[in-house]
Amino acid sequence: MIAVHRAGEIRPREVERWTPPLNAEALRQFLTRVRNWEPLDWDAVFEDLAAVLDNHAPKASEVEELAERLRGSLMRFVTIALAGHADEKDENVQALIERAHSLPEALPCDYWQAVGHLRQLGWVTNELLERLSAIKHIRAGA
C-alpha cells in the first residue's frame, strides 16, 4: 500500500500499488503478434472472391493458391466476428461461422471438385463479409 495525500486532506489515504495487467511473457507474446500482424488487403480479398465466384473457373495452376488465400481471409473474418461477439448478436453470423468451420481444409484432387470447394469457400466468405458489414461490425473495403 502507498500513502496518497490529496489536497485539502489531512490524513493520507492507503491505496494498492498498481501492477501491470500482463507479465513479461504475455507482453512478449503480444509484441510478437503485433510485429507479425499484417493489415487486411481488401483489394486482394475482393480479387480472390471475383476469381472464385466468376462465371469462368480459375486455372488449375491457380486453384491451390486461391484456396489458401481464401481460407486465410475466411478465418480472419471468423476471428473478427468471434472477437467482437458478433456471433452472439446475430444468428446469421453464427450460422455462417458454423458453415466456415464445417468446410474441409483439404483441397480435393479432382479439378472440378476443387473448383466447387473454392466456390463454397468464396460464398461463405462473401456472405460473412456482407453480414458483418450489414450489422456494422466491419466496414468492408475500409
User: For residue 52, what pLDDT is reported?
Assistant: 95
- Show the CA angle centred on residue 87, arms to residues 81 and 38, nearest 5°: 10
Residue 66's H or E segment, with its range, is helix 60-83
Each residue's pLDDT tens digit, 100-123: 999 999 999 999 999 999 999 999
pLDDT at 142: 58
Among 68, 102, 101, CA closest to 82: 101
- What span, in angstroms and rounded, lies between the C-alpha atoms of 129 and 133? 6
Cβ burial of 121 (10 Å; 0-12, 13-18, 19+) is buried
Digit-coded pLDDT (tens) for 33-58: 889 888 889 999 999 999 999 999 99
The structural domains of the chain, with segments of one domain joined by +, span 2-34, 39-134
Where residue 82 falls among pLDDT bands split at 50, 70, 90?
A: very high
